[in-house]
Amino acid sequence: MLEETFKKSELLLKSNPVYKKMPVLIHDGKPICESMIIVEYIDETWTSDGASILPSDSYDRAIARFWTAYIDNKIPDAISKLRPMVRGSVEAEAEAEKLVATLQVIEKAFEKCSKGQSFFGGNNIGYLDIALGSCLAWIKALEKMVEIKILIKEKIPGLVSCRSGSVLMML
């Protein structure tokens, strides 16, 4: 069912009574809420060939979940603050720099986790790539809205060059 962003249906309110927001996946009549929880659910429910998006090693899985939580806590808030600002204003520039600083922290995690490969988990797209990739499209749109460059290769070369980001950067 397609949901209108500002007009919340009874089904949405019933399916996500706590946050009252999308996304909600309804599978077998049961709602699953929140983007990355839905991704984990899909991975656990429909991974039959053993190829999971979550790392098989428990430590690596914990690290991926940690950085995903960091991304979920920092980036949407930064985007929300920056989106309504006046194009090219001093305030917008300052908020953009804060977002770049957050991305630089994630850049360091990418350097460590990717071990020189194309994705956080190595050669294959994984959980953390999905979390970051979904944000990069919003950041790309935000750059156009506020006319400030955020995804700067000199400041975050790994994230700008990584394959999970590169696909979304072409949008």
User: In the numeric block, which tokens belong to residue 60?
Assistant: 């690596």
Q: What is the mean pLDDT of residues 27-38?
A: 95
What are 68-86's pLDDT values in tens digits? 999 999 999 999 999 998 8
CATH number of 58-169: 1.20.1050.10
Q: Report the C-alpha gap between 52 and 160 in whole angstroms.
A: 25
Residue 143: per-residue pLDDT: 92
Q: What is the mean pLDDT of residues 133-162?
A: 89
163 CB-near residues (< 8 Å, 6+ apart): 118, 119, 125
User: In the numeric block, which tokens belong to residue 56?
Assistant: 């098989």
Q: Specify the higher pLDDT residue, 136 or 97.
A: 97
Residue 2: per-residue pLDDT: 67
Q: What is the mean pLDDT of residues 8-36?
A: 92
Secondary structure class of 31 (helix, strand, coil):
strand
Over the range 2-18, which residues count as b (16 or more CB within 10 Å of their CB) and which as e? eeeeeeeeeebeebbee
User: What share of the chain has pLDDT > 90, as a percent?
Assistant: 58
Residue 20: per-residue pLDDT: 86
Residue 4: per-residue pLDDT: 67
Burial of 46 (0-12, 13-18, 19+ CB in 10 A): exposed
Burial of 120 (0-12, 13-18, 19+ CB in 10 A): buried
For residue 68, give the nearest of 123, 134, 16 by alpha carbon. Answer: 134
What are 86-121's pLDDT values in tens digits? 888 899 999 999 999 999 999 999 999 998 888 898
Q: What is the mean pLDDT of residues 140-149?
A: 91
**Taken in order 99, 100, 104, 109, is the CA torsion positive or negative?**
positive
Task: Give pTM, 2 decimals.
Answer: 0.83
